[in-house]
Structure 1
């Protein structure tokens, strides 16, 4: 059985069918600011191949597409995938041509040809329990190309559907010996961490330190 159950798929499918922007990620300054912080924390300016599971309605996807030669994005909700495709085609067809979209449940339905310079997981991992988090963590580690980066960004406050605390999620990933911690941003609302299999800082990567 997929770790993200049929009931979860139906739940999010219904949410996106009822409202194309259920969390107001296009309208709220909080969400706009969070995306800006996220993009500023990426350790490289450009990426060859990036992956964004749980793409939602595609607002972050559209921003990541401008930083990658090719972006794979997915969501377990077919309606979310449809909205993301619509968002990309409306905003910039040239970006849309460089994005591959799929319906996938995590952590089981991971891309077969996974070899990514960047993996971004935002507002998704608190829906998983620890055994599945550990499986997904290993998939991320195994899928990172040399020098690749993994970024997690999650809401910290309580809500009904949460299965695992955000701080617990980020701590579990931080305990992986294969990942070197590069960046952390945290406030009362959300936390963001960046790890890499390359310990070099941004300045070291550019020969400044």
Structure 2
């Protein structure tokens, strides 16, 4: 799988056209609008690809840690963020969930378009890694394509269901449409309005 993604990013700096396609631009906007707070202390984004989402997230964080299993993708993200957020962005080559940032605590973890490549055991490990490194007031966001494709190991519904079944997490937002599913969980069951004192 590593070789597959490395080859994709060596052939193109945007193999899924996340910059050009309105679908991708719109999905990114929906994702950002679904965050429970306008600013975060520390965001973690595994499977960062070429860094388009990373750049958008970096504008809303004091610090962002991004990883990808492809060295080519890591370099693209480093280049993309080089002048945008000096000293606030760390990008590393890691295979998730087997490797994970050490001794970190995150206010936001974004798992976007990657969990369907994992088998059931790896998905359980991913969930536990997220829980272990999520701050008490932090949020966990998952966003995944819903249609079949060759490398998919699990359906989007079953992936998000694994996180829904966790008693340590409370779903506070969902965006559901035919092409993708987006969910946000937190350790706290409080809604965005409740966090801001708008709702009891």
Identify the TM-score tier after normalising by the shorter chain: over 0.9
Q: Is the 8 A contact 2:55 2:84 kept in 1?
A: no
**1:65 and 2:55 aligned:** no
Alpha-carbon shift at residue 124 of structure 1 (Å): 0.1
Structure 1 segments of 4 or more deviating over 4 A? none
**Matched residue, 2:113:** 123
* From 51, 75, 79, the counterpart of 2:44: 51
Q: Distance in 1 between matches of 2:17 and 2:176?
A: 21
**After superposition, where does 1:162-201 map in structure 2 within 5 Å?**
162-201=152-191
Task: Please state whether the residue corresponding to 2:103 is helix, strand or coil.
Answer: coil
Relative distance call for 1:11 and 1:96 in structure 2 (3 A) is farther
The alignment's TM-score, normalised by the length of structure 2, stands at 0.98
Task: Please state whether the residue corresponding to 1:80 is helix, strand or coil.
Answer: helix
CA deviations over 1:96-137 (Å, ceiling 9, x no partner): 431100000011101102200000010000000111100110
Q: Is the 8 A contact 1:183 1:194 kept in 2?
A: yes
Q: Is the 8 A contact 1:182 1:201 kept in 2?
A: yes
CA deviations over 1:78-100 (Å, ceiling 9, x no partner): 000000111112xxx24143110
**Matched residue, 2:28:** 35
Equivalenced residue count is: 199
Alpha-carbon shift at residue 68 of structure 1 (Å): 0.5
Q: Is the 8 A contact 1:180 1:197 kept in 2?
A: yes
The alignment's TM-score, normalised by the length of structure 1, stands at 0.94
**Matched residue, 1:12:** 5
Q: Distance in 1 between matches of 2:125 and 2:84?
A: 34
**1:74 and 2:64 aligned:** no
Alpha-carbon shift at residue 65 of structure 1 (Å): 0.2
**Unmatched segments (≥5 aa) in structure 1:** 1-7
